[in-house]
Structure 1
């Protein structure tokens, strides 16, 4: 869960053009930006599903 958040935040920062010292400075093409945005959406879906499942498990008592 923490790793997915870190990856999502790093991709989001990179997509928005925020410079991080641990990233190499490369030029992102439009395809790279589109792919990163799609990855962020998928990670968000995965995290949402995990949150829902945890809530359901707590509700059921598992």
Structure 2
């Protein structure tokens, strides 16, 4: 339910895993469980939050490069 400070690669992996589970794609390494409507809504909200965080990071990095902060 919470997003912590992760690297972009880790956030992408988590987002892709959630998206795959939400779409019903079965993975060998993930156990199969029944997702209720609330679980699907929570996963969709997490995906949106991750996308927003990644977009903000990309914008900030681009702005820092433009200004010459790094």
Report the TM-score, using the length of structure 2 for normalisation: 0.87
The answer to whether the aligner puts 1:56 opposite 2:63 as a matched pair is yes
Report the TM-score, using the length of structure 1 for normalisation: 0.99
CA distance in 1: counterparts of 2:30 and 2:45, whole angstroms: 20
CA RMSD of aligned residues (A): 0.3
Structure 2: give runs of 5+ residues left out of the alignment.
Answer: 1-7
Q: Alignment length, in residue pairs? A: 62
Q: What aligned pairs does 1:24-43 form with structure 2 within 5 A after superposition?
A: 24-43=31-50
User: Where has structure 1 moved over 2 Å in runs of 4 or more?
Assistant: none
Higher RCO, 1 vs 2 (CA within 8 Å, ≥6 residues apart)? 1
Please report how far the alpha carbon of residue 59 of structure 1 lies from its aligned counterpart in structure 2 after TM superposition.
0.1
Normalized per residue, the structure richer in helix is: 1
The answer to whether the aligner puts 1:13 opposite 2:20 as a matched pair is yes
